[in-house]
Chain A
Amino acid sequence: DAMVIQNPRYQVTQFGKPVTLSCSQTLNHNVMYWYQQKSSQAPKLLFHYYDKDFNNEADTPDNFQSRRPNTSFCFLDIRSPGLGDAAMYLCATSRDRGRANIQYFGAGTRLSVL
């Protein structure tokens, strides 16, 4: 089945130790998104790629970076995780910008920072 896959499902890191989360998709969608979601809150968009065009949200901390080496893969790098970065990180795709209302989400990576 075509889908969005995130690895790992659970990630534990130490304060200040860099961590990379990965996302792959078999839908061949042009747009890939990274969201941060904390308990009882809505997903918060960090950035998105339209093909290779990177779009950063104004309030996304510099501590968060992303790479999209090809259509299928996208990575979220947290350079120096702080305690406040503990959250669920969700990757999503949409076919193109015009279909942003219909997004397909991965199962998420739950990040713990010790």
Chain B
Amino acid sequence: GQSLEQPSEVTAVEGAIVQINCTYQTSGFYGLSWYQQHDGGAPTFLSYNALDGLEETGRFSSFLSRSDSYGYLLLQELQMKDSASYFCSNGSSNTGKLIFGQGTTLQVKP
């Protein structure tokens, strides 16, 4: 089976850096991806790690360690608009399916 664990809530202040961790157990691993979802909106793809290491996209970075079954999303220079839910997920190239973690609600305070 597959499961992804992430914290349910994180709070940070504007301008700060926050890290959202994700640990996973999967029968087959095909990379870790991250999605952002604002309240009432649709998930939006942020980042994808197929291999170990850091991927950087503007203020957002994502990291993967396959030996540790662990990854994280790093958000820098936090802005109020970053308040949203963030999902780590694992997609299977065999089945074509994406399994989501339960999501982390990030609240950015002034």
Contact = CB atoms under 8 A, between A and B. Distances in A.
Contacts of A106: 42
Choose among B45, B50, B90 the residue with the greatest number of A CB atoms under 10 Å from its CB.
B45
B101 A97 contact: no
B24 interface: no
B96 A101 contact: no
Contacts of A43: 43, 87, 100
Contacts of A101: 30-33, 48, 50, 89-91, 98
B59 interface: no
Given A42-B87, A48-B97, A105 B42 contact: yes
B41 A102 contact: no
Contacts of A112: none
Contacts of B94: 97
A107 B90 contact: no
Contact of A104 (B32, B45, B91, B93): B45
Nearest to B44: A105
Contacts of A108: 41-42
Interface of A: 31, 33, 40-43, 45, 48, 50, 55, 90, 92, 94, 96-108
Interface of B: 30-33, 41-45, 48, 50, 87, 89-98, 100-103
